[in-house]
């Protein structure tokens, strides 16, 4: 009797969990689709606080209900590549730790913001699905980084298309992590991007970044932005990152 009751409770708990997850997923997709409607350019209107506050616990790089099938599929493909150790998944915590360490090391004259005033990194100040949704993978031996990126409706430039500034932001983030992981903390000296095709809002792109050359403190990198099926080349960039001179004050 007791066993029967326990089994019933387990099944019903499972049912409510699955239903909850399904509703959450539908809500996120609807939010994104709603925001794409022509008359709702500012979807934050009814969405409560638009900022996603700093959290060291949640890993925003993991799939959430706003992720499309394409993004999930690529994410799982890359997670598989991590199994033999050639690629490594970069968690949100690792990015925040790097950023925190960078400011401790190099910007000693800058007063750090209090946690409560401090929204997470620029790319994380959006509700799920409305801004930058991405995950990054690093290949140490090949000095490469891959960023799987789905840009949401708050990143719109031309109607229905991603703003070029949002694209270059994501490219810059990806390769700044690559150059930092390659030679230590670096800053962007220049980034020269060519936009070849517009990127539709909500589509999934793959950013590939690689180190081309290192000359003392200078790291030269190139990157490309492709569609998930690799058929469309959206953008290409070349850039220079300079390793921070930690003896000098940087402010």
Chain residues binding ligand 3VV by CB under 6 A are 95, 98-99, 102, 106, 121, 172-173, 176-177, 180, 185, 187-190, 217-218, 240, 242, 245
Distance CA 203, CA 54 (A): 26
CA distance 180 to 95: 11
Cβ(201)–Cβ(155) below 8 Å: yes
The residues, ordered by sequence, that sit 6+ positions from 184 with a Cβ below 8 Å of its Cβ are 243, 244
Output the smallest distance, CB 130 to ligand 3VV, in A.
19
**H helix runs in 83-221, sequence order:** 92-106, 164-183
Query: Could you say which of 39, 84, 97, 172 is catalytic?
Result: 172
DSSP type of residue 174: H
Nearer to ligand 3VV, 99 or 232 (CB): 99
Q: How many CB atoms lie within 10 A of CB 217?
A: 14
Quote the CA–CA distance of 215 and 208 in Å, as a whole number: 21
Q: Which CB, 208 or 238, lies closer to ligand 3VV?
A: 238
Rounded Cα distance, 251 and 246, in Å: 11
Count Cα atoms within 13 angstroms, Cβ side, for 155.
Answer: 33
Instruction: Please report where in the chains the tokens 């690093």 appear, as a residue.
Output: 138
Is 84 part of the annotated catalytic residue set?
A: no
Minimum CB distance to ligand 3VV, residue 185 (Å): 5
Which residues, other chains included, contact 18 with Cβ-Cβ below 8 Å and sequence gap of 6+? Answer: none
Given the complex with ligand 3VV, which of 95 and 205 has the nearer CB atom? 95
| 95 vs 237, beta carbon nearer ligand 3VV | 95
Q: What is the CA radius of gyration of the chain?
A: 20
Could you tell me the smallest distance in angstroms from the CB atom of residue 39 to ligand 3VV? 34
Contact 43, 35 (CB under 8 A): yes
Question: Between 161 and 214, whose beta carbon lies closer to ligand 3VV?
Answer: 214
The least CB distance from residue 230 to ligand 3VV, in Å, is 25
Q: How far is the CB of 73 from ligand 3VV (least distance, A)?
A: 25
Annotated active-site positions, please? 172
């Amino acid at each position: 009797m007791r066993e029967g009751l326990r089994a019933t409770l387990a099944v019903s708990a499972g049912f409510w969990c699955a239903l909850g997850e399904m509703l959450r997923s539908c809500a996120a997709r609807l939010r994104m689709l709603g925001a794409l409607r022509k008359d709702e350019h500012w979807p934050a209107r009814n969405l409560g606080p638009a900022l996603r506050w700093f959290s060291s616990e949640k890993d925003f790089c993991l799939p959430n209900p706003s992720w499309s099938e394409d993004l999930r599929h690529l994410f799982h493909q890359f997670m598989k590549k991590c199994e033999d150790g050639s690629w490594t998944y970069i968690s949100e915590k690792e990015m925040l730790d790097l950023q925190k360490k960078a400011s401790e090391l190099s910007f000693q004259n800058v007063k750090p913001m209090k946690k409560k005033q401090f929204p997470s990194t620029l790319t994380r100040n959006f509700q799920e699905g409305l801004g930058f949704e991405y995950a990054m993978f690093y290949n140490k031996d090949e000095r490469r980084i891959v960023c799987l990126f789905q840009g949401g409706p708050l990143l719109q430039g031309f109607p229905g298309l991603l703003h070029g500034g949002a694209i270059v932001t994501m490219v810059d983030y990806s390769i700044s992590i690559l150059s930092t992981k390659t030679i230590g903390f670096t800053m962007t000296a220049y980034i020269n991007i060519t936009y070849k095709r517009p990127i539709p809002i909500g589509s999934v792109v793959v950013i590939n970044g690689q180190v081309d050359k290192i000359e003392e403190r200078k790291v030269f990198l190139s990157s490309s932005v492709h569609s998930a099926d690799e058929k469309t080349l959206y953008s290409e960039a070349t850039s220079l990152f300079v390793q921070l001179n930690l003896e000098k004050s940087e402010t």
